Amino acid sequence: MIKRASKQRFLSMLFVCAMSSTLLTSVHADPYNLYETFEDQTWDYTSEPQKNNPYALNIINNPTFGAYEGSRVQRFQWDRVWYDASDRATKGSEIAQPQVRAAWNQDIWEEFYFYFPSSSDGMSNDSKGMIIKQWIAWHPSIPNTNKSFAFTLQNGVLKAQRAYGDRVNPSYQDYTITSNIPKDQWVKFKLNLRFDRTGSSGKIKVWMNDSLKVDVSGFSMGVGSPDYGPYTKYGIYAHSSSDFTKRVFFADKIKWSYNAF
């Protein structure tokens, strides 16, 4: 009887181990809702390449300037030749995570590394504004929903943009992160955000290379439905085209969590 009981215990332990391993492979390791280094050569969520552009989104190996971590990084490319002001799909080359949404009224922590080449076919200063990262609560049931938060870049000036009020035509407020974005080096960004559509507990904290650049709170932030919180996106959204024929930048090691890290 004892032997049989321990055999059953052993089998149930095996079952638990198998279940744990299944969970670990299907869900990002706790406590992260996103943890992507691109080393497995895949983006696990949604890709939104610029329409018609075969070079829009690529995970590349061994860039000449080196990955931030490991050897692989995400490359975003946008080409002016495909731009059509009337077609949203021609304005961006982005990766997104609509499958995992941030809760309203809860602090979130996010970190990512961007590399901006200084060249004219990279991210040389551009008089046309562009978005390079955002949180948006868009959902098929609430089309036309605008972004809730963005990183905007124009003439080398990087700003954190808060959106609030009407989900289709929000109000905006910008906070400067830097007036001269570092080029030709990996730049670390860390964010502590809190989306609050209707109350006043919204928050934006942005660190660049471990230096606190924006620290504001006590407002509403985010537009959309109470049923669908915002999700994160990274990449180029050249809403007003560009001074240049091509725009390229890179990302590595991106993650977000409800837990401070």
Binding site for Ca ion (CB under 5 A): 37-38, 67, 69-70, 72, 252
Q: How far apart are the first and last CA of the chain?
A: 49
Q: Which is nearer to Ca ion, 70 or 156 (CB)?
A: 70
Q: State the minimum distance, in angstroms, from the CB of residue 74 to Ca ion.
A: 8
What are residue 202's DSSP bridge partners?
A: 219
State the nearest-atom distance from the C-beta of 206 to Ca ion, in Å. 22
Closest to Ca ion by CB, 58 vs 217, is 58
The least CB distance from residue 218 to Ca ion, in Å, is 37
Nearest-CB residue for Ca ion: 70
**Residue 70 or residue 165: which is nearer to Ca ion going by CB?**
70
Shortest Å distance, C-beta 59 to Ca ion: 9
Sheet strands (E) in the chain: 32-36, 46-48, 57-61, 72-79, 92-96, 107-115, 130-136, 147-154, 157-164, 171-178, 186-194, 202-208, 211-219, 231-237, 246-257
Owner of token pair 């905006």: 172
CA atoms within 13 A on the CB side of 180: 0
Amino acid at 52: N
- Complex with Ca ion: residue 67 or 221, whichever CB lies closer: 67
For residue 80, the SS3 value is helix
Provide the CA 166 distance to its chain's centre, in angstroms.
23
Q: How far is the CB of 147 from Ca ion (least distance, A)?
A: 26
- Would you say 32 or 82 has its CB closer to Ca ion? 32
